[in-house]
Structure 1
């Protein structure tokens, strides 16, 4: 009671409260800086993408989102996706086959194949790799990636931008991995059976830069003198590599 009536005690309490408020405000102001996602935040429950010739010709508009289908036209099917079914046919528009070159097949579950993902900031891929096959070195410019091995034994590796440090591990059923945004990475089947991986991204359209195709099969082709200088090889070696990619 004596302290409650003492002006010095009251002054000390006020100082403590003011200090706490100031520190809280500093933390509050920093929160937007550390909570930003790869895609813009949604401002409504959902926005099923309109994918037609006008929007696909300019795929990322309105701050990273496609126009919304009118709510009156939205139905249950807009929120479900069966593109990962193992009995799907080859050549579907969400499947990228590298079976001949690399022994792998990638099925994409992004906003272009699953319009219900629009504005939600997430996507998934299914990766199937034959024994000895490879999901070749690539990077995702707009998203970090995490994945889980469903079946098989897979070597997963990535290289940092600082010092070109290489991190890798052999993973089996049930083990997860994470790839930081924009870093070159790969998955290789080092087992005797087919491998199946599911990967997830914090972007509705993470993008993919597949290095072998980007460098040796671009359209139009990167000038020969650039690649021979970069890789320190003779032109005939470059021609041989390009021929494998049909370039």
Structure 2
């Protein structure tokens, strides 16, 4: 039996009528996906960072940042300085303070340490820090995780990686490691820190420790701290950049308080 044009047309018509409506609709009347525009952003209650997070594509993200100047972050903005602490300032660019970082997996900070400025012991919760000194020098210390000992011998105690980092030298501070930086001179020091996260985070160790209950703190110190003194410690702990060690303060004629 030969197929004629009439028979072929009849078979095609029957096949089409037998298909589910949903299949016919999806294959013949597909609607292009909606894209996010700057106009859409103006009508939402989401922050710019949130909008950038849920944008369908990188192309849509660029549409949400129409001003070229929003791709530049001013670390020396006067409104960002003078609020860090008595010993200097730390200005951070993360995905909240600088939404253009969304999608980059990167963040950055600049530290301005005055004479005897001390970036108190802290950790970064979600990133490793690469820090380069661009002015002056820094004395740094870093404590790695448990079971890292001096000369690999437990009896010699924990290993503390301590260095003098001079201008245009760099040191890594690993994610989760306790570390600190101190300006030992009577002149200013500046460092630039990059992070492999848009939300690298920071936790000041002493401040976090003394946020625990009094019983836990006393037990942690083997009862060496009297319960009545704990609140005094809490109130005296600086949260970010502090004035540094006794020797430097005397050398630079800086009063403690």
1:186 aligns with 2:180: yes
Partner of 1:97: 83
After TM superposition, the structure 1 = structure 2 runs for residues 29-68 of structure 1, keeping only pairs within 5 Å, are 54=46, 66-68=53-55
Structure 2 gap segments, 5+ residues each: 1-37, 149-157, 240-257
After superposition, give the CA deviation of every residue in 1:43-90 in whole Å (9 maximum; x if it has no partner): xxxxx9x8x86459xx8x89xx833365434322332212x12xx324
Structure 1 residues 55, 137: CA separation in 2 closer, same or farther (over 3 Å shift)?
Answer: same
Match of 1:154 among 138, 141, 144: 138
Structure 1 residues 73, 118: CA separation in 2 closer, same or farther (over 3 Å shift)?
Answer: closer
Q: Report the secondary structure of 2:185's partner residue.
A: coil
How many residue pairs match? The answer is 181
Partner of 1:125: 109
Relative contact order higher in (CA < 8 Å, ≥ 6 apart): 2
Distance in 2, matches of 1:119 and 1:70, equals 9
Partner of 1:78: 70
Higher-helix-fraction structure: 2
Structure 1 residues 66, 99: CA separation in 2 closer, same or farther (over 3 Å shift)?
Answer: same
Q: Report the secondary structure of 2:83's partner residue.
A: strand
1:110 aligns with 2:101: no
Structure 1 gap segments, 5+ residues each: 1-47
| Structure with larger Rg | 2
TM-score relative to the length of structure 1: 0.65
